[in-house]
Amino acid sequence: MNDDLANYQGASEYFQTANKKRREGLNPAFDIKAIQQQFSAVKGYFTRERIARLQTHGASDASPIFIVGMPRSGTTLVQRIFASDKTVFCAGEMETLDRMSGHMESSTGKRIAFPAVLSHLPSRAMKYYCDQYLDSATAEFRSYRHVLDKNPLNFINIGLIGILFPRARIVHCTPQSAG
């Protein structure tokens, strides 16, 4: 309301208070340095050579389609286009890949962090994770040719996707500037 009344100083104080309360309520607290470290680890680990080497353990299944991108980049529109195809099962915004990285770390007693843990998993474990991912889409999808995962934040998992599902299709949505 202060903002609407051009009382920008008052509005700013309320925004700062609200942001502080929001940060206090986050559990765990958001840590930008931890996020930067995670992105650096992922970027450094998933080289073309390493992905190619580890892909031999992945599924030959070509059914997964992943729509990735930042929020408000058109991922929902693209999903709706795919949904019009009767051979595509839209599984929504699956969080399975995000959970997998934690499970993979736990399998080593948290001694090896993701993504480095991928180099230490036997091929049967990779097959297990492929099956787990496909099963998490529900048994219904098996009657479809493709399963579509529209979690836009899966961009952090593109390397993992490339290893687990070398034949999967990835659609990367980017916002179109209105100018």
Sign for the CA dihedral angle at 103, 105, 108, 110 comes to negative
* DSSP codes joined into one string, 129-147: HHHHHHHHT-GGGGGSSEE
How far is Cα 146 from Cα 64, in angstroms, rounded to an integer? 6
The predicted-structure confidence for 10-42, as pLDDT tens digits, reads as follows 777 878 887 777 777 666 777 899 889 999 999
Q: What is the pTM of this model?
A: 0.78
State both tokens at 53. Answer: 């080497």
Query: Thinking of the domain 62-94+121-174, which architecture would CATH place it in?
Result: 3-Layer(aba) Sandwich (3.40)
Residue 178 is predicted with a pLDDT of: 65
Below-50 pLDDT ranges, the chain = none
Residue 141 is predicted with a pLDDT of: 67
Domain ranges of the chain: 62-94+121-174
Beta-strand relationship, 88-90 and 169-173: unpaired
How far is Cα 144 from Cα 88, in angstroms, rounded to an integer? 6
Task: State how far the alpha carbon of 111 is from the alpha carbons of 100, 104, 127, 143, in Å.
Answer: 16, 10, 22, 40
**Inter-helix orientation angle 96-106/123-136, to 10°:** 150
